[in-house]
Amino acid sequence: MATATLAPTQNPHLISWVDEMAQMCKPDRIYWCEGSEEERARLTAEAIDAGVLLKLDGKKRPNSYYHRSNPNDVARSEELTFVCTPTEEESGPTNNWVEPGEMYRRLARLYDGAMRGRTMYVVPYIMGQPESPFAKVGIELTDSVYVVLNIRIMARMGKVALDRLGASDDFNRGLHSVADCDPTERFIVHFPQDNTIWSVGSGYGGNALLNKKCLALRISTYQSRQEGWLAEHMMLLEATSPSGEVHYLAGGFPSACGKTNLAMLIPPDVFTGWRIRTLGDDIVWMRIGEDGRLYAVNPEAGFFGVVPGTNSHTNPNAMRMLDRDTIFTNVALTQDGDVWWEGKDGPVPERLIDWKGRPWAKGSAEPAAHPNSRFTVPLSNNPALAPAVNDPRGVPISALIFGGRRATTIPLVLESFNWAHGVYLAGTMGSETTAAKTGAVGVLRRDPMANIPFVGYDMGTYFGHWLEMGARLARPPRIFLVNWFRKGDDGKFVWPGYGENMRVLKWIFDRCDGRAAAKETPVGWTPRTSDLEMRGLPVQAGAVEAALRVDAAEWREELRSHAEWLDHLGPTVPRSLRAQLELLDAAVETAAHARIDP
């Protein structure tokens, strides 16, 4: 029998479930986390002793730690991720599925004795404001102290969650074991009808922090459809004009495609008096308010962000936030106890220890930091955090922005004609894959609403839910598609991105107020260059036109690919989205035949 700290709860559902899981996993010890600072320091010291964490230089980076993962375990494993609804149709063509009973049996064999010699940490947490009626309680059982310390940053963890739960049975049951960290015995499995997640064989963020992608997106998308709200893979920001007008914007970008950077944007000098503040960088939950507007909250308490490419030009706020209190995973170590990554400020060091723990020398062909190396840091470290982040009611959304990595076709910004057209543009969005998931990088795939890895039910039904949400909104947000990643003939990005994206945000902001002009194209509204603030923009003549261009030949190809995508999703795709395709196809054909530049 395992030794256990006294359970700080009398909740019979919780106690009996922990007991049952412990009998299967057979840990030596059970430890109930309470969430205090004293506990954090103690578990951190234990993690250092066990070689799981390394303390970074306390002067250069106070209260910051370094973790190196197993090299076979550095990104989300979508091919090993399952949504086990009672029927396969409910899970749909974009999720892996196995009959739930069969999957529980398969996994039970992997969990049997997996925690022998280890501690099972009981990690109670809340996603959302503790006072919010919409917050969700989850309990994660894990044998990874790294996971515990990360959840403590990413969610409200410990006693606060048990207090909120009380004697209720309404909590997410998450079971996680790194087991042997064997990719052939790795599974991330969701049982939405049981509000249960079983993950085994990985210690990586999105596979192992079950509060994040597993609960706050996959399980929450499933519940939100039944309950009439939205759970989305989005950043959330507050934009303030010089005259003090405020708009809140939410934006869906696929993994490693710019959410964190956009949410922390610092406007260029010409935007005197404008201010962007952050509410979230990865997940939003949105509900319809009494005034018929869409209200959003960030259910997280921290940032789990991409490190490479972060520097004082691309993201100065992130640089300041990472000065302290940060867990770095899979970056490189300097000889003086600090961290380094590709794209950091300053000269490249002569010598480093790379993310695999090997000596690394300047000029090496391999990167020193893994391309998906990550930081974990509390929201409160962000020097430009929006005060409304703590408002349990959330913030009213004026515009939804979607954008992937597209070398061609998609203009810098495109405003939809209406909600259904916006849902179509988001639902057919494509993006070139990144290092945030295992598998090939740079391959174009459709990623509806940037949420394809995270929608825990049938995709066509999800589109229908989006359309119904629009129909229920008295004042729906406007919907925009953006593309920071279009390339020129020289293979370089035509748009400078980062802070300069403020030029696009300002146009969006002004469109929300009915102020900015636009040009109608066959596929949506775009700005003319004269509709954008161009002063001080560091690009060559013609670059902005190239970024904004809507090309009929490219769109013909694009729409052909959309048709295949909708066919792949099958009969649940709403009729009105198929009608959108028909309309766009006809409009693009007319433009092509007219031989005018659309």
135-143, 160-168, 490-498, 577-585 -> range binding ligand GTP (CB under 6 A) = 490-498
Tokens standing for residue 577: 């989205």
CA distance 213 to 216: 6
* Interaction partner, residue 349 (Mn ion, ligand GTP, ligand SPV, none; CB < 5-8 Å by kind): none
By C-beta, is 177 or 207 nearer to ligand SPV?
Answer: 207
- Torsion angle of C-alpha atoms 317, 323, 327, 331, degrees rounded to 10: 80
Q: What is the DSSP letter of 216?
A: I
Write down the least CB distance from residue 233 to Mn ion, Å: 6
Out of 83, 189, 256, 547, which residue is the one contacting ligand GTP (CB under 6 A)? Answer: 256
Provide the mask over 235-274, with x wherever binding to Mn ion is found by CB under 5 A and - wherever it is not: --------------------x-------------------
Q: Which residues contact 173 (CB under 8 A, 6 or more apart)?
A: 17, 138, 139, 194, 195, 196, 197
CA distance 122 to 142: 7
Strands 187-191 and 81-83: parallel
By C-beta, is 436 or 550 nearer to ligand GTP?
Answer: 436
Out of 31, 121, 146, 253, which residue is the one contacting ligand GTP (CB under 6 A)? Answer: 253
Write down the least CB distance from residue 180 to ligand SPV, Å: 21
Write down the least CB distance from residue 256 to ligand SPV, Å: 7
* Interaction partner, residue 257 (Mn ion, ligand SPV, ligand GTP, none; CB < 5-8 Å by kind): ligand GTP
Strands 284-288 and 230-232: antiparallel
The residue with its CB nearest to ligand SPV is 206
Out of 289, 393, 497, 531, which residue is the one contacting ligand GTP (CB under 6 A)? Answer: 497
By C-beta, is 21 or 384 nearer to ligand GTP?
Answer: 384
Tokens standing for residue 213: 């992608």
Strands 413-415 and 478-482: antiparallel
Write down the least CB distance from residue 21 to ligand GTP, Å: 30
CA distance 167 to 422: 43
| Interface positions, 408-467, toward Mn ion (CB under 5 A) | none
Tokens standing for residue 589: 């054909």
The DSSP secondary structure of 434-501, one letter per residue, reads -TTBSS-SS-EEE-GGG-TTT--S-HHHHHHHHHHHHHH-SSPPEEEEE-S--B-TTSSBSS--GGGG
Whether residue 257 lies in the annotated active site: yes
By C-beta, is 111 or 402 nearer to ligand GTP?
Answer: 402
Nearest to 477 by CA among 284, 254, 303: 284
Site for ligand GTP contains 498 (CB under 6 A) = yes
Site for Mn ion contains 282 (CB under 5 A) = yes
* Interaction partner, residue 206 (Mn ion, ligand SPV, ligand GTP, none; CB < 5-8 Å by kind): ligand SPV
Write down the least CB distance from residue 567 to Mn ion, Å: 28
**Crossing angle (nearest 10°) for helices 552-569 and 575-594:** 160
* Interaction partner, residue 280 (ligand SPV, Mn ion, ligand GTP, none; CB < 5-8 Å by kind): none
CA distance 431 to 446: 6
Site for ligand GTP contains 282 (CB under 6 A) = yes
Q: What is the DSSP letter of 269?
A: T
Site for ligand GTP contains 260 (CB under 6 A) = yes
Strands 234-240 and 246-252: antiparallel
Within 13 Å and on the Cβ side, how many CA atoms surround 88?
A: 5
Site for ligand GTP contains 460 (CB under 6 A) = no
> Based on the number of CB atoms within 10 Å of its own CB, is 41 exposed (0-12), middle (13-18) or buried (19 or more)?
exposed
* Interaction partner, residue 93 (ligand SPV, ligand GTP, Mn ion, none; CB < 5-8 Å by kind): none
Neighbours of 528 (CB within 10 A): 12
Strands 327-329 and 65-67: parallel
Of the candidates 84, 214, 257, 512, the residue annotated as catalytic is: 257
Write down the least CB distance from residue 173 to ligand GTP, Å: 25
Instruction: By CB under 6 A, name the binding residues for ligand SPV.
Output: 76, 205-206, 212-213, 255, 282, 304, 436
* Interaction partner, residue 2 (Mn ion, ligand GTP, ligand SPV, none; CB < 5-8 Å by kind): none
The 3-state secondary structure of 262-314, one letter per residue: HHCCCCCCCCCCCEEEEEECCCEEEEECCCCCEEEECCCCEEEEECCCCCCCC
Tell me phi and psi for residue 122, to 5 degrees: -100, 115
| Interface positions, 289-328, toward ligand GTP (CB under 6 A) | 305-306, 308-309, 314
Amino acid type, 555: W
Tokens standing for residue 62: 């106070």
* Interaction partner, residue 314 (ligand GTP, ligand SPV, Mn ion, none; CB < 5-8 Å by kind): ligand GTP
Element (DSSP H or E) covering residue 560: helix 552-569
Out of 436, 508, 543, 573, which residue is the one contacting ligand GTP (CB under 6 A)? Answer: 436
By C-beta, is 282 or 432 nearer to Mn ion?
Answer: 282
Residues that bind Mn ion (CB under 5 A): 255, 282
Question: Residues in the site for ligand GTP, rule: CB under 6 A?
Answer: 253, 255-261, 281-282, 305-306, 308-309, 314, 436, 484-485, 493, 497-498, 501
- The catalytic residues are 257
